[in-house]
Amino acid sequence: MTLQRLLCALLVVVCGWTGYYLLNNRWQEDVQVEPDAEKPLFTGNTVVNTSYNTAGLRSYQIDSEYLEHFSSSGDTNFVAPVLWIYRDGTETEWRISANTATLDKDQVLQMTGSVRIFNLLPESAIKVIQTDSLRLDLIEKDFDTPDHVLITGSNFQNEGTGMKGNMDRSVATLLENVKGRYEAFKN
pLDDT at 33: 60
Find, among 159, 133, 157, 130, the residue nearest to 144 by Cα. 133
Q: What is the pLDDT of residues 5-61, one digit of tens each?
A: 888 888 888 888 887 777 776 666 666 666 555 687 888 899 898 888 888 888 899
Read off the pTM. Answer: 0.75
Alpha helices, DSSP H, located in 73-165: none
Torsions phi, psi of 111, nearest 5? -105, 140
pLDDT above 70 covers what percent of the chain? Answer: 90
Contacts (Cβ under 8 Å, ≥6 apart) of 159: 148, 149, 150, 151, 174, 178, 179, 180
125 three-state secondary structure: coil
**What sign does the CA torsion over 141, 127, 119, 69 have?**
negative
- What's the pLDDT tens digit per position in 132-156? 999 999 989 999 999 999 999 888 8
